[in-house]
Amino acid sequence: MIDPGRLERRSTELSRIAGRGPSVSRLGLSADEQHARELVGGWLTARGATVRRDAAANLFARFPGEGATILVGSHLDSVPEGGRFDGALGVLCAVEAVESLVDAKVKLRRPIEVVAWADEEGARFGVGLFGSTAAFGRLAPGVADRRDRDGISIAEALRALGEHADPADARRDPKELAAYLELHIEQGPRLERAGLPLGVVSDIVGIYHARVAVRGRADHAGATVMTARADALAAASEMVLAVERIARNRSDSVGTVGEIAVRPGAKNVVPGECIFSLDLRAARDHDDLVRDVLDAVTDIASARGVEASVDDLARVPATALDPTIRDVLKRAAKSVGVDAPMLVSGAGHDAQNPALSGVPTGMIFVRSTGGSHTPREFASIYDATLGAQALANAIKELAT
């Protein structure tokens, strides 16, 4: 049985790491994320697990067994000024599910590993799903050289955490894994509207992440007549609106520009350079959406006499999760009294990497309110307990 009191106490303890009230800013590959890994690793070491970190700073806690492993977990990092539940609840419930099986002395045949993936959000270096991408051998070459705003590279951040190897060395053989399970808050309103505490994920959207650099010409804001300007911010603004227009015109797509920086950044200087992020997603194939947005960027740049270059950060295809594991999770939800609906995830998840590498993969969603990537996100301890119990039941079915 899941211990709701322990789950809640640990959730509170974890949320204090880089937290202020309901707000959490625990960025990937930071000392705060490491501190969270140490806390979680400590709980599982105390239960007899063998705990290790890999070259990409992922944390694994292993309970031995025979044959291929059941891997279960989520991530411990957050976006800046995010909430307590995105990622963290999946790790907490994985720990609780496995501990409940240990407490009940359930004889599991297969090895079980709890995982806390490093830097899922990519908030600091721009590379989302970092740890799971490394573990499944999908990191693009040169990723470790990407730098944050202070000029610190991923490789340097990893060294500061005590990891000196190439993060690509984190690769493990997907054939060692019998299944990957991840519990996550829904981050949207569908379960709340349906009055249901749990859902099962059928598919995860395709995601494209990039940075666009627009280069115009910095000049005097008073002396430069309007017809003689190459204003990088004005051009970028048109591009931002094009992202919104293109995504709005497609029923299954979303497009967001969530970061923008202007140089030199003074009220009396025509902006010479503007760098902004692109986050484009579609439930099915997102190639057309990406192509239309990049075409618009090129057209606007040429019409305005500025240069635009696009730095691709990540492209993750839309991912269908495993039908057999979906059935296991549906049954597990049923076993706690929930007729869980199938949902498509509009958020990206580490589960995409094992799924794309051929590991039978499934996800449980827990009802959440208040949206997500904000301190308003919330899941009740009652719903989290049901989710953890369903997860424990699914692990038991797969591991015995």
User: Residues in the site for ligand GLV, rule: CB under 6 A?
Assistant: 121, 128, 347-348
Q: Rounded to the nearest whole angstrom, what is the least distance from the CB of residue 182 to ligand GLV in the complex?
A: 12
Q: Which stretch binds Mn ion (CB under 5 A): 2-10, 78-86, 164-172, 375-383?
A: 78-86
Shorter beta-carbon distance to ligand GLV: residue 4 or 346: 346
Tokens 């424990």 correspond to: 392
- Which H, E and C letters describe 203-259, residue by residue? EECEEEEEEEEEECECEECCCCCHHHCECHHHHHHHHHHHHHHHHHCCCCEEEECCC
Chosen residue from 41, 83, 87, 387 binding Mn ion by CB under 5 A:
87
Give the pairing of strands 361-366 and 198-204: antiparallel
The Cα–Cα gap between 155 and 125 comes to 11
- CB nearer to Mn ion: pick between 75 and 396: 75
Distances (CA, A) of 111 to 63, 68, 100, 318: 6, 7, 16, 29
Secondary element (H or E) of residue 389 = helix 381-399
Nearer to ligand GLV, 254 or 270 (CB): 254
* Span of 87-95, 197-205, 239-247, 265-273 interacting with Mn ion by CB under 5 A: 87-95
How many whole angstroms separate alpha carbon 291 and alpha carbon 294?
5
For residue 152, the minimal CB distance to Mn ion (Å) is 22
CB of 337 to ligand GLV, least distance (A): 29
What CA–CA distances, in Å, run from 358 to 193, 320, 362, 364?
Answer: 33, 11, 12, 19
DSSP structural state of residue 370? S
Which one, 43 or 117, has the nearer CB to ligand GLV? 117
Least distance CB 77 / Mn ion (angstroms)? 9
Give yes or no for residue 86 binding Mn ion (CB under 5 A).
yes
- Least separation in angstroms between residue 282's CB and ligand GLV is 13
DSSP string, 339-361: -PPEEEESS--TTHHHHHTT--E
47, with CB counted inside 10 A (0-12, 13-18, 19+), is: middle
The entry of Mn ion, ligand GLV, none near residue 348 (CB within 5 to 8 angstroms by kind) is ligand GLV
Output 87 or 111, the one with its CB closest to Mn ion: 87
Minimum separation from the CB atom of position 209 to ligand GLV (A) = 9
d(CA 233, CA 118): 34
CB of residue 126 to ligand GLV, shortest distance in Å: 12
- Which two structure tokens, joined as six digits, stand for 157? 């951040």
Residue among 79 and 212 whose Cβ is closer to ligand GLV = 79
| Stretch touching Mn ion by CB under 5 A, among 17-25, 81-89, 362-370, 386-394 | 81-89
Binding site for Mn ion (CB under 5 A): 86-87
